[in-house]
Amino acid sequence: MSTQINNPLHGITLEMMLKHLLTLYSWEDLYKLIRINCFHENPSMKSSLTFLRKTPWARQKVETLYLKTQKP
């Protein structure tokens, strides 16, 4: 069994990350920080999650921003 002690994202879903980011930023601000059209063109939680789950590079950008917003 592998443990993920050193993985700061262990147990954090993409939906949890996006909800957290939306408590800090608006969709418009998220688009300014991460140029992803799902944050710009009719943004919604559902459409953004669908896109991010299918697009590894975009998910990585969201994960990176999420980690930057966490307290050390």
Query: What CATH code is assigned to 14-68?
Result: 1.10.720.30
Domain residue limits, the chain: 14-68
Query: How confident is the model over 8-63, as pLDDT tens digits?
Result: 888 899 999 999 999 999 999 999 999 999 999 999 999 999 999 999 999 999 99
Between 3 and 30, name the one with better pLDDT: 30
d(CA 23, CA 1): 35
37 Cβ contact partners less than 8 Å away, ≥ 6 residues apart: none
What is the pTM (predicted TM-score) of this model?
A: 0.86
